[in-house]
Structure 1
Amino acid sequence: MKKLISLVIMLVLRVRYRITVNGLKELKSRTQDNRPVLFLPNHQALIDPVIVMSLLYNTFTPRPLADEKQAGHPLAKYLMDMVNAIFIPDLNVSSRDVKEQVFAGIEEVVASLKRGENVLMYPAGRISRGHLEVIGANSGAVSVIHGVPEVRVVLLRIRGLWGSRFSRARGLPSLLGDVGKLLFRVLANGLLFMPRRPVYIDIIEPDDFPLGGDKKIMNRYLEDFYNTDPDRNTEIPPYW
């Protein structure tokens, strides 16, 4: 059932997105390495976790680290439960309880990796506010890597989504708030003729990742990787 839902989601995504992936076949070929994998993508838009999970789920079944605010919709909650997501609270809220819940989420990521499970998390902790990925002083990914030194770190560089309706380039986005409008546009375009947004994803397991580095070194490495050939603000017309 899970694989069927994953296939359906992938087919639906192909209606709007023309996705080009580099490095996935090479990653799948490394079956001899049984260490847990920590997937670290940049976060251009609310839709990119859906795209990434559709690519990785059937082979790696990663547990995504998810903002519990985005799981308020029943459909989103169902999908998050299906993939056994690890929830963390809204990072924009500052309180002792929120910080404790964030720490608990990070501890669950570490525990999950130590059990041999794979995990998908976003080092920036939120979708980008500009065309460049800024991680700053965030320490979640650093804490996880230091807690599981044997982990395989796989980086994903996503380009093409900055400027989409799910990015902050067009204001505060909502993943499921405009479902009716999106379905109308798909039907109005005759299903197969809707203009598709090109999306490029590079998947790399770097040999030179600074596993033993401090927060500053590790975050700078990630920012340099994500911001190679940065996106422009690109809008794709909704109708053919």
Structure 2
Amino acid sequence: MSALFRCRALGRTFGAGAAAVTAVAEATCRIEPGDRIAVSGASGSGKSTLLHLIAGLETPTSGEAEWPGLGGDPRRPPGAVAMVFQAPSLLPALDVTENVSLPLLLCGHEPAEARKRAIAALELLGLDELAGRLPEEISGGQAQRVVIARAIATRPVLLLADEPTGQLDTGTAAAVLDVLLAAAAHLDAALVVATHDEDVAARLGTRWHMRDGHLRTGWAAPC
């Protein structure tokens, strides 16, 4: 099977002239089906921008990016790439099921089918008892697991998570990572997690590291 994503000398610079900031500089990497990748590095090192480039949410300012395993476009088919952001980002006026259904509706699914798939995703993650609650009625850890349910409801082949445990305590963070790993296994999806947490990074099979916008693949943490 073709690589889900590959890039060469990929870069993203914001601004121009003396005010220009290079968030990602000449990154070269590839993501294969079934990969489990941790992208480690300090805050501001470029991890989030790299994930946005992989997801097709940002347009590179230099280099090449390709999605051969997705027909050349990360948006086709809809939902093939899903992203879990650092903040839960649930819409406060919608209950849990409606929040999980929303991306499916935006992808063109009928309301009944979207609801059915949302409920199935919640049940898979053991969250069905939260189905009718509003975001303000659940905990931070529960909210982050609902966000994962929302991502997997589209049945992606590439699941990206940007600091998904960054605002959680150690125990809750471990539980959220358990859910991410289990969801990726259930979907047979590749998983890429950006994190500054060494405990999280250690649980993924491949380690990348970013520093000042520069990506190193095959990086090993110092002993």
* More strand by percentage: 2
TM-score (norm: length of structure 1): 0.38
Relative to the length of structure 2, the TM-score reads 0.40
Q: Which has the higher helix share?
A: 1
